[in-house]
Amino acid sequence: MTRMEPTIDRIKALDIKGFLDEEEGMRLYDLSREAAALGPCLEIGSYCGKSTAYLAAGCRERGSVLFTIDHHQGSEEQQPGEEYFDPDLLDSETGRIDTFRSFRETIEMLGLSNTVVPIVSTSEVAARFWSTPLSMVFIDGGHAMETAFLDYACWSPHILPGGYLAIHDIFTDPAEGGQAPWYLYRMALDSGLFRELPRVKTLGILQRIPLHSLVDYAFAMRDKLSSK
């Protein structure tokens, strides 16, 4: 029997564990499909493979790949006793969270094994000798300030001109959620290297200024600065 194509409908039907809204997932799919023509995409925070599936579906259409990094031990808020703890993900032998088994099931079920390159590591260690330019980076790792800053510092420099930086869980109001992703978003904008695209729910999207518009962009920045 031939494996069914990993269509978006199948991804939606699977009901993969995760915190990604369907509309956000569709936007990730569109972005990765567009970006992947330039080079590989990279995700930080694979969890059980929900956003991975959307991103990989886009990469696959371009014959590209998705690197996805996760230590698979759950983030701070997913540990036993914490707000996002899920007992299904507890390894009964070790008493620790292990999301890799569920992640692998998702990828295999969708026939995405030849598109997805899982990296089981912290993002910082994976970044140490990284030198491959990336067409898209999706940051959806730990939300502690230090973890989030490291993800941004380690991976945003690898984004190609014209490529995308997407950041999940953007809450502009501290009453709605943690502020680390929103800080990253503004740091990237302040760097002058990115321009803002419309947000989709809590998904922030920035594009690294494409080479062909760098001069226009520089003049626009000069005008903005001189009017301050």
Nearest distance in Å: CB 20, Mg ion = 7
Q: Say which amino acid occupies 148.
A: A
Nearest distance in Å: CB 133, Mg ion = 25
Q: Say which amino acid occupies 70.
A: D
Q: Read off the tokens for 38.
A: 């330039």
Catalytic, 71? Answer no
Nearest distance in Å: CB 46, Mg ion = 11
**In 3-state terms, what secondary structure has residue 43?**
strand
Binding site for Mg ion (CB under 5 A): 19, 140, 168-169
What would you report as the CA-atom Rg of the chain, rounded to the nearest whole angstrom?
A: 18
Q: Cβ distance 163 to 31 under 8 Å?
A: no
Q: How far is CA 113 from the centre of its chain?
A: 18
Q: Which is nearer to Mg ion, 179 or 209 (CB)?
A: 179
Q: Cβ distance 89 to 82 under 8 Å?
A: no
Half-sphere exposure (CA, 13 Å, Cβ side) for 18?
27
Task: Considering the candidates 71, 143, 158, 168, report the single residue annotated as catalytic.
Answer: 143
DSSP annotation of 21 reads -
Nearest distance in Å: CB 202, Mg ion = 8
Phi/psi at 175 (5° precision): -70, -20
Q: Which is nearer to Mg ion, 62 or 168 (CB)?
A: 168
- Which residue in the block uniquely carries the two structure tokens 């809590």? 202
Q: Which is nearer to Mg ion, 159 or 166 (CB)?
A: 166
Q: Which is nearer to Mg ion, 18 or 163 (CB)?
A: 18
**In 3-state terms, what secondary structure has residue 29?**
helix
Q: Which is nearer to Mg ion, 24 or 127 (CB)?
A: 24
Phi/psi at 137 (5° precision): -125, 130
Nearest distance in Å: CB 224, Mg ion = 32
Catalytic sites, residue numbers: 143
